[in-house]
Amino acid sequence: MRLSDLGEKEIIDIRDGSRYSDLYDAELIFDQRTGKIKVILVPENRSRLSFTGVVDYVQIPWNSIKKFGEDIIIVETENNSFY
């Protein structure tokens, strides 16, 4: 699967039903040694921006991904951490 194929898929956490923005709005962190994706940083909430324009991101480890669906990416996180 190409990275461009993932762009418009919405990310949903099955642990608590949290919905994150689609991967198109996310940042990816790669392992410098292997070139593999380590973490997806997704905006906490697309509709809320602070007055300074700073957005909080939720870190989703790549190994938390359970399934790539046609329109969604299903993840199961133990504890969302903010970046």
* 50 vs 76: CA distance, rounded Å: 28
4-29: pLDDT as tens digits? 667 778 889 999 888 887 777 788 89
Domains plus CATH for the chain?
A: 3-82 (2.30.30.240)
Token reading at 38: 């380590």
Q: Could you report the per-residue pLDDT of 28-80, keeping only the tens digit for each?
A: 899 999 999 899 888 876 455 556 666 778 899 999 999 988 888 899 987 65
- Bridge pairing between strands 10-13 and 72-75: parallel
